[in-house]
Amino acid sequence: MTLSTQSAPLALITGASTGIGATYADRLAKRGYDLILVARDGVKLEQLAADISQRYGVAAKAFPADLTDGESLKKLEQFIQATPAISLLINNAGTILPGGFKNSDVEAIDKLIQLNVTSVARLSRVALDGLRQHQHGGIINIASVLALAAEISDPVYTASKAFVLTFTQSLQVELADSGLYFQVVLPAATRTEIWNKGGKNIDEIPGMMEVGELVDAALVGFDNKEPVTIPPLQDETKWLEFEKLRKALVPEFLQGQAAPRYR
């Protein structure tokens, strides 16, 4: 890949062939980013890369990869390690279980965990050293409001997004002095192809947000250096109060004796 200029920032986006990932590619290209687009569908990726390059005059490379396949994931990791110019990693790739937990086999469950959890942690670690070389290096992890709403969706998908939220918040603490920016985005229902994979009628799902509105809102949060961005949340005070209460619980967890109610 030939970068458009020596100074152009370079972003790698997983799950980039459609939906949220493809929209991030469009918006970042408009901002002057060169792009590495990762997804399983090489044909769609090549078409998207060519279209973006033509429209915005940036360099866009398609990197077909199945992040649930160990060898494919390792090839991407090796590419990232060999490409220290990457200054922004967007872990967007994800999937759902078509039949929920009770109707899914263990292989489908394992694939979801590999994609939604394992690849996020591995790619974040592999990219970390290169990202730290950039003044404005960062990672954007796409979680879901379901990380905070276990009542709504199936257990494995919900738990995988809870991992992404907690993982990113923990990175923010451990690497607070690194100069890196870690953002976690919590979309609600967004109009993408993932609903077809889940066998759901998108027109029957309430509160559906258009993908462009979701990504544009997330990028406002990115520009404002928000640690957690929740585009559908109308009253930010509720989140701030929730976080304040959660942090107030931490000292309670550091007790050497069981609470009186358990004696």
pLDDT digit string, tens, across residues 27-68:
999 999 999 999 999 999 999 999 999 999 999 999 999 999
Is residue 199 scored above 80 in pLDDT?
A: no
pTM equals 0.93
Between residues 233 and 190, the one the model is more confident about = 233
Q: Are 11 and 36 in contact (CB under 8 A)?
A: yes
In contact, 77 and 122? CB cutoff 8 Å: yes
Q: Domains in the chain, ordered, with CATH?
A: 10-262 (3.40.50.720)
**Mean pLDDT computed over every residue of the chain:** 93
Residue 5 — pLDDT band, cuts 50, 70, 90? very low
Q: Are 229 and 221 in contact (CB under 8 A)?
A: yes
H helix intervals, 57-154: 70-81, 106-113, 119-131
- The whole-number pLDDT of residue 26 equals 98
Structure confidence at residue 197 as a pLDDT band (50, 70, 90): low
Distances (CA, A) of 246 to 44, 168, 184, 251, 253: 42, 16, 17, 10, 11
Answer with the residue of higher pLDDT: 253 or 7.
253
Q: In Å, how far are 37, 66, 134, 143, 191 from 24, measured between CA atoms?
A: 10, 19, 20, 15, 14
pLDDT of residue 2: 46
Task: Give the list of residues 6+ apart from residue 178 with CB closer than 8 angstroms, or none.
Answer: 132
Confidence of residue 104 (pLDDT cuts 50, 70, 90): very high
**What pLDDT is stored for residue 204 in this prediction?**
66
Q: Which amino acid is at 181?
A: Y
- Residues with a known catalytic role: 157
Whole-number Å distance between alpha carbons of 140 and 143: 10
SS3 230: coil
**Among 75-89, 159-173, 185-199, whose mean pLDDT is lowest?**
185-199
pLDDT above 90 (res 202):
no
* 59 CA to centre of own chain: 22
The residues near 241 (Cβ < 8 Å, ≥ 6 apart) are none
pLDDT band at residue 99, thresholds of 50, 70 and 90?
Answer: confident
What is the band of 1 on the pLDDT scale with cuts at 50, 70, 90?
Answer: very low
pLDDT at 200: 65
121 versus 201: the higher-pLDDT residue is 121
- 6 pLDDT higher than 60: no
pLDDT-wise least confident of 48-62, 160-174, 199-213, 226-240:
199-213
